């Protein structure tokens, strides 16, 4: 058996359905066809007919569908999918109704590069041996009902570039060795019940551009080394139990979208802004910050959206270009802030 190209390309748009990405060989193996039909028999899509092209013998060609309209698909992911030994990708996204667990046997599919099951009702746990998928580049399980911990074996997915597990019921800690995944550019874990501290190892992923850990139960401090990462643009840590002070390094870093709102962050806003500070969003609201808004903030090259409301800040709001466009809501509910756009400082 030589490795000829067999294409099982099942691309479905909008709502996609399933993208069994390119495999190898010339014709459809009867065993693959049987596995696909079994897989299909566990799914139910009554309105659009996305599976209409799944007929004939050649399951390598034309077994795909496009859904221009939004549809709903129910059913579950059959373990029959694991019989497709060349399978390199599966996409069943935004069908809203696919339930059941992810078959653990998918971790036996060595060619798998892409798993995208976003926007369904998938429950159960992430298979413990997910780390076996050495070629996996994208793991998107966001917007489902997955519970349990993020398996420690995830630290073996060294090809992973995109990890999106947002809005599930994941518990436990962020695996400490996640920093071994040097290809990662997006780590999106918001909207779970993750606890423990932010692993410092994350700050050693030099490609990381987007880290979103919002709305979890994360405790401990913000590692100052985030401020030294070269391409980190978005750091969203809002809605956690984070304490300690804001590292000054974050003020002049590559980060342009910083949300620390809704934590237990204390101390002062670092007087560490400079011309390299460029923020489209700087949200420090709902914390325990005290002291003044530092004068150096006026030297920032841009601050699009600033929110320091609901803290314990005091003193005169600095005047300068980054502040001209801001209104009072950015500064409300503090101990004794004053000056434009709030009231006069008096005296
Ligand atoms: C920052 O996070 C808070 C809490 O999750 C959210 O309400 C707020 O809209 C976010 N700020 C911005 C500017 O997106």
List, edge to edge, every strand of the sheet that includes 121-123: 43-44, 73-76, 96-101, 121-123
189 pLDDT more than 60: yes
Q: Is the pLDDT of residue 325 over 60?
A: yes
Q: Answer whether residue 321 is part of any domain.
A: no
Per-residue confidence at 87, pLDDT binned at 50, 70, 90? confident
The pLDDT-based confidence of 13 (bands split at 50, 70, 90) is very low
| Residue 214 CA, closest ligand 1 atom number | 5
Centroid of ligand 1 to alpha carbon of 236 (angstroms): 9
Average pLDDT value for residue range 47-63: 77
The C-alpha angle 30, 34, 36, rounded to 5 degrees, equals 115
Taking CA atoms only, the protein residue closest to ligand 1 atom 8 is 261
Q: Which ligand 1 atom sits nearest the alpha carbon of residue 305?
A: 13
Specify if 18 maps to a domain.
no
Q: How far apart are the CA of 216 and the centre of ligand 1, in A?
A: 14
Of 196, 195, 197, 205, give the one whose Cα is nearest residue 225: 205
| Atom of ligand 1 at shortest range from CA of 262 | 4
Confidence class of residue 68 from pLDDT cuts 50, 70 and 90? low
Considering only CA atoms, which of 88, 118, 109 is closest in space to residue 8?
Answer: 88
- Ligand 1 centre and the CA of 287: distance in Å? 13
Find the mean pLDDT for residues 285-302: 96
Strand partners of residue 114? 89, 138
**What is the atom index within ligand 1 of the atom nearest the CA of 307?**
13
- Band (pLDDT 50/70/90 cuts) for residue 71 is confident
Tell me what pLDDT residue 29 has.
81
pLDDT over 80 (residue 63): no
- Classify residue 21: in a domain, yes or no: no
Q: Is residue 11 part of a domain?
A: no
Task: Tell me, yes or no, whether 90 lies in a domain.
Answer: yes
Pocket residues for ligand 1 (CB within 6 Å)? 214, 238-239, 259, 261-262, 281, 283, 305
- Lowest average pLDDT, out of 55-69, 156-170, 248-262, goes to 55-69
Rounded to the nearest angstrom, the distance between the alpha carbon of 283 and the centre of ligand 1 is: 7
Alpha carbon 294 to chain centroid distance?
A: 32
* Phi and psi, residue 18, nearest 5°: -160, 135
Question: Which of 259, 265, 306 has the most ligand 1 atoms within 8 A of CB, as the residue to mutate?
Answer: 259
What are the tens digits of pLDDT across the range 251-273? 999 999 999 999 999 999 999 99
Within-domain flag for 77: yes
d(CA 50, CA 220): 48
CA of 233 to the centre of ligand 1 (A): 16
CATH code of the domain covering residue 102: 3.80.10.10
Number of domains in the chain: 1
Tell me how far the alpha carbon of residue 290 lies from the centroid of ligand 1, in angstroms: 20
What range defines the domain where residue 251 resides? 30-314
- Contact call for residues 9 and 20 (beta carbons, < 8 A): yes
In a domain, 327, yes or no: no
Q: Please report whether residue 25 resides in a domain.
A: no
Average pLDDT over residues 38-59: 84
């Amino acid at each position: 058996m030589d490795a000829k190209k067999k294409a099982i390309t099942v691309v479905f748009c909008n709502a996609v359905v399933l993208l069994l990405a390119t495999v190898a060989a010339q014709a459809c193996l009867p065993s693959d066809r049987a596995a696909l039909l079994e897989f299909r028999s566990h799914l139910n899509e009554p309105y659009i007919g996305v599976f209409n092209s799944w007929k004939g013998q050649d399951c390598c060609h034309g077994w795909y569908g496009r859904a221009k309209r939004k549809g709903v698909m129910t059913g579950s992911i059959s373990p029959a999918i694991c019989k497709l030994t060349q399978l390199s990708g599966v996409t069943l996204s935004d069908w809203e109704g696919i339930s059941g667990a992810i078959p653990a046997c998918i971790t036996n599919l060595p060619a798998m590069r892409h798993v995208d099951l976003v926007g369904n009702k998938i429950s159960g746990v992430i298979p413990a041996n997910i780390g076996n998928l050495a070629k996996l580049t994208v793991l998107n399980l966001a917007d489902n009902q997955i519970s349990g911990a993020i398996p420690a074996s995830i630290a073996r997915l060294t090809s992973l570039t995109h990890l999106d597990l947002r809005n599930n019921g994941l518990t436990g800690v962020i695996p400490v060795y996640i920093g071994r995944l040097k290809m990662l550019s997006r780590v999106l874990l918001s909207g779970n019940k993750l606890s423990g501290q932010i692993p410092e190892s994350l700050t050693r992923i030099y490609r990381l551009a987007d880290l979103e850990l919002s709305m979890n139960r994360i405790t401990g401090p913000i590692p100052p080394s985030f401020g030294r990462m070269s391409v980190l643009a978005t750091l969203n840590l809002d809605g956690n139990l984070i304490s300690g002070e804001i590292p000054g390094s974050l003020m002049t870093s590559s980060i342009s979208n910083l949300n620390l709102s809704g934590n237990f962050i204390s101390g002062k806003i670092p007087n560490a802004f400079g011309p390299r500070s460029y923020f489209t969003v700087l949200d420090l609201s709902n914390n325990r910050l005290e002291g003044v808004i530092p004068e150096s903030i006026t030297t920032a090259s841009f601050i699009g959206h600033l929110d320091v409301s609901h803290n314990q800040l005091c003193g005169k709001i600095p005047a300068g270009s980054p502040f001209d466009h801001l209104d009072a809501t950015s500064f409300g509910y503090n101990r004794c802030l004053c000056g434009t756009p709030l009231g006069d400082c008096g005296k």
